Chain A
Amino acid sequence: MALLVYVVDIILAGDDAEQISKVKEFLDRKFKIKDLGRLSFFLGFEVTRSKQGIHINQRKYALDILVDSGMLAAKPYSTPITKDTKMSLDQNKSTHEEEVYRRAIGKLLYLTNTRPDINFAVVFKSIRSISKYTSSSSSQPGSEIRKGVAYSRLVFPDESNMKLNAFSDSDWASCNFTRRSTTRFCIYMGAALISWKTKKQSTVSRSSSEAKYCALASSACELQWIKTLLQEL
């Protein structure tokens, strides 16, 4: 039995239907509660259940991004980022462009919740936007969005195996300007990918193994948190 609250939205999960309805009654007495039935749309995630498991995607959110940026009719890119994208310093970037760019990055960051594959590209570019760097080739926020938005779904297969697996790596000195390394990890529970991260490290590593240790530490941290959470459930 678990109750998850996100401001005004609540998910109730449990194996006992009676218990669930009791909780609902209690909450309804305390506040005024609207029962929306089966979980289907939560925080922009569309949740569907099938025999294979649960699928979540952000179709509507992705479409909204496209509508907002006026890229609805744009031709989609098949790759989120090109292989040799280099960052360079661009002082001429206007503030308006900067704002639009950052907004686009922010929207795409939320999209990474179901799109781990674009995570790297988005984070890579977000680092750039925050540190006021831009690549000379593609400073158009539109092109970034076009690259990012092609919604797919994340599948949580129906599997009773609840073993946690974590994979971690680092990219040593990947940032050209600060020479900091990038942490990457992903954690599976059974066959379902539940957590991932691509993040620039806060310190400069002097060797690749040092960077890898840092990455390992963050993934261990995340694992520990998940373990605690699972124990609570």
Chain B
Amino acid sequence: MNHSADECYSKHGFPPWMKQRYKSNINQIETQQEASRNMEEHNSQKAYQFLTSEQVQQLLKILHNSEQSNGRVNIISEEKSTQNVKGNIFWVLDTGAIDHFTCLRNIFISFRKIKPLKINLPNGTFVQSNYAGTVRLTENLTIYDVYYVLAFTLNIVSVQKLITHRDFQCVFSQDVYQIQDTHTLKMIGHARLVEGLYRVADEDMCSVNNITSFRTCNIDIWHFRLGYPSNKILDNICKNYTGIKYDLNNICEYCHYGKQHRLSFQTSEIVTSDIFDLIHVDIWRPFNISFVHRHRYFLTLVDDHSRHTWVFLMKNKSETRSLFNNFVIYARTQFNRNIKIIRSDNGSEFNCKEFYDNLGIIHQTSCVETPQQNSVVERKHQHILNVARSIMFHSNLPKPFWNYAISHVVFIINCISSAGISFKIPYEVLYKQKPDFSAFKVFGCLCFVSTISNNRSKFDTRSRKCIFLGFKNGVKGYVVLDTKSREIFISRDVVFYEETFVQLEDQNGRIDFEEDQSDLLYESGGEHINVQQEDTHTQMEENTPEDHDVRRSCKLRKAPDYLKDYHHQIHNSIISYNNTQVRYPISSVLRYNSLNKNQLCLIASVSSHVEPKLYEKAVKKEEWRNVMKNEIEALNINETWSIIDLPPGKGSIGCKWVYKLKFNADGKIECYKVRLVAKGYTQVEGIDYHETFSLVAKITTIRLLIVVATAKNWHLDQLDVNNAFLHGDLDEEVYMDLPQGLCTEKPNQVCRLKKSLYGLKQASRQ
């Protein structure tokens, strides 16, 4: 804060331009920085001044010029304060200093080596600075060309440099020094008077971190280093760590690969104006539960306007169509409304275009794997299941009674207000009257049903212990389950104990349900079940879950008659043949799917034409009969045998027909080949044959011949002798049984072989 005496305005009077004053309504105390030397002295004057930046700069120019003569730097810091701040990062505002200085290297955002700079100190000594860099003082205030001087004990901000290089203006007051943006007058930083020095306020100071190597870093690197945080998080981090930078607009591919999720669906605001305008439909099935009435599927219909829900229990999905039809009629009769739109998922059971077209209904489907588009009904499912689970667990009923629970839950939630339609009651919206809660009872509670008088004698019990299972639509009564007889029936003479629940005691076997009604669940398909039939018995074995296997049909599966002219064996394996009797079907490992049509034809042909093993089978087919006839004729022409009576004391060997099919490349049969072979293995050595070896060429000879042919450049041709075996004359006396299919006049005749035949031991040597 020192300056030479010749420039102290308080001594020599203010220059004329200083008289110009701005009346600012900003309640700030402005003083001219050059007048700061004796601030304390001038406090009493309360000279509120506001200077434009040009004025300040002009002033500074003058000041600067005047300082030139005095040397480069004229800092004199009070020794006592420097002692205190040594090692600290206080920044002291100095009007006299020409440059910024720091004694701490780790506060640089970036720094560089510079040509050694000599700095004159007021006491006539010099210090040297080798580094210059950038320091971020406050969030909005960054100073450049800060010289690093190790010898200093405090950091100095040159007011003059601050103002000349940036669009800042500075305001001194009694104990506060403010730095403002010239244009916006926003306060960028301020310094407080502490121990006679204007220190940059601590609260404005950026926390100094030791990260000094940012300048070389890729701007994305922090995004990667910190584990791909989102921009929101990064933004937060950047606020606390000045060195960390990020690019908001940068596209990080890996973020998308790793973290992208489905876009959230906006809740549909559109609510239809009238009931039955839009019906949401879905089918669902619980797994591994066999229900009391063998229901397997639930068809849920939700009216968009009233959110009234109907649940139909189905045994097969194919019932959907008729239930739809019934529902359309129901809406028309009861409410005089026509259903306009049906919205469902892509289930094939909803795909009945003709039906919709006939009634003029628009069918809307959700996208594949996007159940969110069918949210109304899916949400309803969740609701139904949540409540149903609660009442089931509370009532301790076995799982097969789930369908009763669900029906009851639907009944309940139709009668309570729904959030989807601003807490109106679906029942009320639909029927225009309030639901009647008087009949509501706790599901699964204990109740006693009085027995009907004409069925009891004087000494029978007057009531039956039962469990409440809900209501049946259209009947004023309660559906109850007899705990002993397992009978489900309807009665109106019921006394409830709603806080008591009974455990069904019989768990170790089959529990047969007798029903005096076809189906006590309202609005079901109405298919009549004969209760006494074996297959209506439901097994209830929660304790043995492995018995929940799907019952498999014992019926033999046969191909339909219309396929008998086709080769369908392969196709059976192509279509993953769901033959449940085979536990590990071959179709799971062997399939012909990938074959093209020609190959398929070949395979079909090969697998459909079977080479017969036995004469009895072959003789049934005309082709085989013909070729066998031809073969026998050929053998006769060749004089292979003569037919004689078997001489006494001689044995005969057997013979056999061998059949072979040859295929063309396209799978058509090229030829039926048949050969008569003698059963040479029954021949006895010494009687039927003597020698079996035959002369062949040595392999070396073959090689030698080929080499010679190469060397001499000979032709090499190959020949094959047809029926070579049949040309050899037979020396031994060999008798053979008559081949099958050859008839003679007399019985017990045999063939005496004159020529060799395939299969004979000595055949190869003839």
A33 CB–B CB distance under 8 Å: yes
A72 CB–B CB distance under 8 Å: no
Expressed in whole angstroms, the Cα–Cα distance for A40 and B706 within the complex equals 12
Output the residue of B694, B709, B716, B719 with the most chain A CB within 10 A: B719
| Given A7-B724, A53-B710: A42 and B704 interface contact (C-beta under 8 Å) | no
Considering the complex, give the chain B residue whose CB is closest to the CB of A159: B711
Judging by beta carbons under 8 Å apart, are B722 and A33 in contact? yes
Expressed in whole angstroms, the Cα–Cα distance for A194 and B631 within the complex equals 43
Judging by beta carbons under 8 Å apart, are A17 and B707 in contact? no
Per-position binary interface string of chain A over residues 1-35, scored 1 when its CB falls under 8 Å from any chain B CB and 0 otherwise: 01011111111111101001000100100011111
A156 CB–B CB distance under 8 Å: yes
Judging by beta carbons under 8 Å apart, are A13 and B705 in contact? yes
A36 CB–B CB distance under 8 Å: yes
A150 CB–B CB distance under 8 Å: no
Expressed in whole angstroms, the Cα–Cα distance for A54 and B709 within the complex equals 9
The secondary structure that dominates the B interface is helix
| Given A31-B727, A113-B699, A229-B701: A24 and B719 interface contact (C-beta under 8 Å) | yes
A residues within 8 A CB of B703?
Answer: 56, 113, 156, 194-195
Judging by beta carbons under 8 Å apart, are A38 and B724 in contact? no
| Given A20-B715, A32-B721, A35-B717: A43 and B710 interface contact (C-beta under 8 Å) | no
From A11, A31, A158, A160, give the contact of B705 (CB < 8 A). A11
Judging by beta carbons under 8 Å apart, are B720 and A194 in contact? no
Expressed in whole angstroms, the Cα–Cα distance for A43 and B715 within the complex equals 19
B5 CB–A CB distance under 8 Å: no
Judging by beta carbons under 8 Å apart, are B705 and A15 in contact? no
Judging by beta carbons under 8 Å apart, are A4 and B720 in contact? no
Per-position binary interface string of chain A over residues 128-161, scored 1 when its CB falls under 8 Å from any chain B CB and 0 otherwise: 0000000000000000000000000000111111
Expressed in whole angstroms, the Cα–Cα distance for A75 and B232 within the complex equals 56
Expressed in whole angstroms, the Cα–Cα distance for A41 and B717 within the complex equals 11
Considering the complex, give the chain B residue whose CB is closest to the CB of A31: B721
| Given A12-B717, A189-B707: A195 and B700 interface contact (C-beta under 8 Å) | yes
A70 CB–B CB distance under 8 Å: no
A residues within 8 A CB of B713?
Answer: 15, 158
B764 CB–A CB distance under 8 Å: yes
Judging by beta carbons under 8 Å apart, are B708 and A230 in contact? yes
Judging by beta carbons under 8 Å apart, are A158 and B720 in contact? no
B370 CB–A CB distance under 8 Å: no
B233 CB–A CB distance under 8 Å: no
A: number of interface residues (CB 8 Å): 54
A233 CB–B CB distance under 8 Å: yes
Judging by beta carbons under 8 Å apart, are A10 and B719 in contact? yes
Judging by beta carbons under 8 Å apart, are B714 and A8 in contact? no
B residues within 8 A CB of A35?
Answer: 717-719
Considering the complex, give the chain B residue whose CB is closest to the CB of A1: B714
Judging by beta carbons under 8 Å apart, are A14 and B715 in contact? yes
| Given A4-B697, A162-B711, A192-B707: A39 and B718 interface contact (C-beta under 8 Å) | yes
Expressed in whole angstroms, the Cα–Cα distance for A11 and B694 within the complex equals 18
A226 CB–B CB distance under 8 Å: yes
Expressed in whole angstroms, the Cα–Cα distance for A37 and B719 within the complex equals 7
Judging by beta carbons under 8 Å apart, are B717 and A11 in contact? yes
Determine how close the nearest CB of chain A comes to the CB of B756; give it in whole angstroms.
12
| Given A31-B721, A156-B706, A194-B700: A47 and B716 interface contact (C-beta under 8 Å) | yes
Expressed in whole angstroms, the Cα–Cα distance for A24 and B718 within the complex equals 10
Determine how close the nearest CB of chain A comes to the CB of B628; give it in whole angstroms.
20
B609 CB–A CB distance under 8 Å: no
B residues within 8 A CB of A2?
Answer: 705, 708
Determine how close the nearest CB of chain A comes to the CB of B374; give it in whole angstroms.
49
B residues within 8 A CB of A76?
Answer: none
Judging by beta carbons under 8 Å apart, are B721 and A11 in contact? no
Expressed in whole angstroms, the Cα–Cα distance for A161 and B710 within the complex equals 11
B723 CB–A CB distance under 8 Å: yes
Determine how close the nearest CB of chain A comes to the CB of B660; give it in whole angstroms.
17
Per-position binary interface string of chain B over residues 184-221, scored 1 when its CB falls under 8 Å from any chain A CB and 0 otherwise: 00000000000000000000000000000000000000
Judging by beta carbons under 8 Å apart, are B721 and A15 in contact? no
Expressed in whole angstroms, the Cα–Cα distance for A33 and B721 within the complex equals 4
A-B contact pairs, 12 of them (CB 8 A): A5-B697, A8-B721, A27-B719, A31-B722, A33-B719, A39-B717, A43-B702, A156-B710, A158-B711, A189-B707, A195-B700, A229-B704
A-B residue pairs, 4 tightest by C-beta: A39-B716, A32-B722, A8-B724, A10-B719
18 additional contacts (CB under 8 A) given A27-B721, A56-B706, A194-B700? A9-B719, A9-B720, A12-B716, A12-B718, A12-B719, A13-B717, A15-B712, A15-B713, A31-B721, A31-B722, A32-B723, A34-B721, A38-B718, A39-B716, A39-B717, A42-B718, A47-B706, A113-B703
